[in-house]
Amino acid sequence: MPDTLNLLRSHVGNPADAIRWACLLEATAPKAGNVYPGKSFHDLTYQDFQVAAETCAIELSPPSIPITQRMKDAAIETKRATHTNVNLGIILLLGPIVAADEANHRSLHCPADWCNEIAKVIRTFDAADGQNIYAAIGAASAGGLGEVDSMDVRHDHESIDIVSAMDSAKQRDRIARQYATGFRDLIENVVPVVADQIRKSGDVISGIARAHVRILSEAPDTLIARKCGPTVAQEVQRSAATVDVDNAEDMLALDTYLRSDDHRLNPGTTADLIAASMYLLLRTDAGTF
């Protein structure tokens, strides 16, 4: 089956384009339990994701500004524009990816290249970068990631080792795990699933929705775990594992289940990982993943 992402790749000329498309595609896909067109939460709508996508594209793209400063700016501007932390996880994931992309002028042609170059970016992070990332988390008022063991974003820190802090949180937060592993988890375990489901479905939007269920079935969503505890997150994982992604009734049933309990079962971390995966797929040649 032809690669349905190729047409989109032809419209992605720079990181800002890739950010915008990745965020919009992820938000538009009817992913179980998430916000998408026609499905809102009481405090979050599809329009918020549209605004956040444009804000993220603008704030994360100026290469003359240090990447962690851009991440901080993106979090602040998104909170100002939407009054939510709608894309904090996406900002934290895309920052190092965008920096690696810029440094290599779209010359990253395989998963190993991306892993190596993103790891290089993370190794350069110093105390100032740590302060910027903690400020981004604090600006978004995020639960869980906002307090990483002994470091609390509600206080100023003269010296922050952000990689060590993320390493300490890697078991309870999958976004922190990316920093601790040089994004190897994302590139080896998530991106290939997204690419495979898009190929199988022959459609980007439905492929993303299918991939979302597959990824959720393979590991507990850490946002659900933070909100509801690991036992509930594992129950959601088991429920996702029973879904036939080719069966519309199965997909609808999972969506309905995940919208119970006042949307506390929203698999938001899984969605963030998909947005980052879409950036990588849009900025890498067809057939790479």
Higher pLDDT, 90 or 5: 90
What whole-number distance in Å separates Cα of residue 65 and Cα of residue 273?
A: 24
Give pLDDT, residue 152: 44
- Domains and their CATH numbers in the chain: 6-282 (1.10.4200.10)
- Write out pLDDT tens, residues 40-78: 998 899 999 999 999 999 999 999 999 999 999 999 999
Distances (CA, A) of 20 to 2, 47, 52, 189, 199: 23, 14, 9, 23, 22
83: left (phi over 0), alpha (psi -120 to 50) or beta: left
41: which strand partners?
44
The burial of 234, by beta-carbon neighbours within 10 Å (0-12 exposed, 13-18 middle, 19 or more buried), is given as middle
What whole-number distance in Å separates Cα of residue 98 and Cα of residue 118?
A: 9
What whole-number distance in Å separates Cα of residue 69 and Cα of residue 3?
A: 35
- Write out pLDDT tens, residues 111-121: 999 999 999 99
Q: Where are the beta strands (DSSP E) in 27-175?
A: 147-148, 151-152
Give pLDDT, residue 157: 53
Q: What is the largest CA-CA distance in the chain?
A: 54
